[in-house]
Amino acid sequence: MRYIGLDLGSRTCGIALSDALGMMAHAYKTIRFEEDDYDTALDLVIKEVKENDVEKIVLGYPKHMNGSVGIRGQLSEQFAEALREELNMEVVLWDERLTTVASERILIEGKVRRENRKKYIDQLAAVNILQGYLDSLKVR
């Protein structure tokens, strides 16, 4: 089963794909769109899902540290629902707390220059989201 992981932001969406066995996530690309233009983001994500024969979508679900859902989380819920309607496919909302922080730390430890980190941060966050989900399947 092939999975796609998404880290949706206000202007970018980091994308990760699983291997064909659905065991490992790897960075794929970052798509860019005008600020808060989620209709364009939706179209671009749908294109990637179709081109990569994805069977399940794992979308980062930003929550506050206390577990409550704010505006960004509500936007993710709406985006997930739009994906479900357009693709008739399962979309899993996956808690993404601290994925960007962890991704930034990995890039710093890898000695990636500050000006180059922006190129990779969204993809790496998507990898962390997707890999967290894939690892949870192994535990069950």
Phi, psi of 37 (to 5 degrees): -90, 75
Q: In the prediction, which pLDDT does 68 show?
A: 77
pLDDT one-digit tens code per residue, 50-87: 999 999 999 999 887 787 788 999 999 999 999 999 99
- Once rounded to an integer, what is the mean pLDDT over residues 12-19? 96
**Please, is 16 exposed, middle or buried when counting C-beta atoms within 10 Å of its C-beta (0-12, 13-18, 19+)?**
buried
Which two tokens mark 39?
């209709």
Quickly count: other Cβ atoms within 10 Å of residue 23's Cβ: 14
Statement: residue 100 has pLDDT above 80:
no
In CATH, what number is assigned to the domain containing residue 118? 3.30.420.140
pLDDT at residue 111 in the model: 66
Average pLDDT over residues 30-45: 97
| Band (140; pLDDT cuts 50, 70, 90) | low
What's the chain's average pLDDT?
Answer: 88
Q: Domain count of the chain?
A: 1
The domain of 8 spans 3-139
The answer to whether 60 and 76 are in contact (CB under 8 A) is yes
User: Which three-class secondary structure string do you get for 66-96?
Assistant: CCCCCHHHHHHHHHHHHHHHHHCCCEEEEEC
Whole-number Å distance between alpha carbons of 137 and 114: 34
